[in-house]
Amino acid sequence: MVMPHPVTLTFDNGPEPGVTEFVLETLAARGIPATFFLIGRKLATPYGLALAERARAAGHLIGNHTFFHQTPLGEATDDAAAQEILATQDLLGDLAPEKLFRPYGNGGVLGPHLLSQSARDLLVVGGFTCVVWNALPRDYTDTQGWPETALGQITAHRAAGVPSVLVLHDIPTGAMQHLPAFLDCLLATDVRFTQEFPDETVLVRAGLPSALCDRYVAAKPESSAFG
Ligand SMILES: [Zn+2]
């Protein structure tokens, strides 16, 4: 028996008025649960908080996607990295008891720039679950063609028996106008939408670093002989 292919649908870089509402309505109409990874500086606005509350009330999970979303934590100072995580988590409060965190990749790149040693330690001590992705159709640059790319990535995962963790962006690029048709296309195949994050994309789970984690942590800078 062939099992339905698991797809974890995630939306990064919101909340964004004028876009997040449409995404929420599109998901609600299809009964699809998702996870929204929010940027702290956007959450620190009345509309941002209201959108986050609306998403949570609709059954979506809310995650932390840094405060400024400008410098990968592996390239930030220890203090700045701690602020990026903790200030956003403070704002999220009861909206995000799962303590999900997704690092900023700077164009979706996976590598050791994602975390610093101290950011990793902070996520471990804080009991966070830190997740990345394995399907990135670049909807933020390919605003028209991304659905085809995403369907191709998911088909490849299905063939390989790997669950899909898809990243889309609820930001005003126009890309999300294709979300309804994309989801309907996926729903016509044998998929199961889930809010679970498979081991393939988890760097830290509830404070426990995975075997993948070190691959995404920057080497400690050598103390320089030149000061
Ligand atoms: Zn992002």
pLDDT per residue as tens digits for the range 116-144: 999 999 999 999 999 999 999 999 999 99
pLDDT score at 218: 94
CATH assignment at residue 104: 3.20.20.370
Range of the domain at 96: 5-212
Domain count for the chain: 1
Token couple for 55: 């998403």
Q: How confident is the model at residue 223 (pLDDT cuts 50, 70, 90)?
A: low
Kindly tell me the burial class for residue 206, based on how many C-beta atoms sit within 10 Å of its own C-beta (0-12, 13-18, 19 or more).
exposed
CA 105 – ligand 1 centroid, Å: 7
Question: pLDDT digits over 42-55, tens only?
Answer: 999 999 999 999 99
Distance, C-alpha 94 to centroid of its chain? 18
The one-letter amino acid at 98:
E
H-helix or E-strand spanning residue 205: strand 202-205
Beta bridge partners of 164: 7
CA–CA dist 161, 28 (Å, integer):
28
Neighbouring-strand partners of residue 36: 11, 62
Strand pairing class (202-205; 35-38): unpaired
Tell me the CA–centroid distance for residue 223 and ligand 1, in Å.
Answer: 31
Cα 69 to averaged position of ligand 1 atoms, centre (Å): 7
Instruction: Note the pTM of the prediction, 2 decimals.
Output: 0.95
* Within a domain: 221: no
Two structure tokens written together for 104: 């900023």
> Taking CA 89 as the corner, what is the angle to CA 84 and CA 95, rounded to the nearest 5 degrees?
145
How far is the C-alpha of 113 from the C-alpha of 124, rounded, in Å? 18
Distance 220 CA to ligand 1 centre (A): 24
User: Rounded distance, CA 209 to CA 205, Å?
Assistant: 6
Question: 172 with 141: CB under 8 angstroms?
Answer: no
Q: How far is the CA of 3 from the centre of ligand 1 (A)?
A: 31
What is the CA(12)–ligand 1 centre distance, in A? 5
Which residues lie closer than 8 Å to 183 by C-beta, 6 or more apart? 26, 27, 30, 32
Distance 39 CA to ligand 1 centre (A): 8
Mean confidence (pLDDT) of the chain: 95
Phi then psi dihedrals of residue 175, to 5 deg: -60, -35
The predicted pLDDT at position 220 comes to 77
User: How far, rounded to the nearest angstrom, does the alpha carbon of residue 65 sit from its chain's CA centroid?
Assistant: 7
Is 227's pLDDT higher than 50?
no
> Considering the domain boundaries, does residue 224 fall inside one?
no
Please indicate, yes or no, if residue 219 is contained in any of the structural domains. Answer: no
| Residue 149 forms part of a structural domain | yes
In a domain, 227, yes or no: no
Q: Which tokens hold the place of 70?
A: 């400008």
In a domain, 173, yes or no: yes
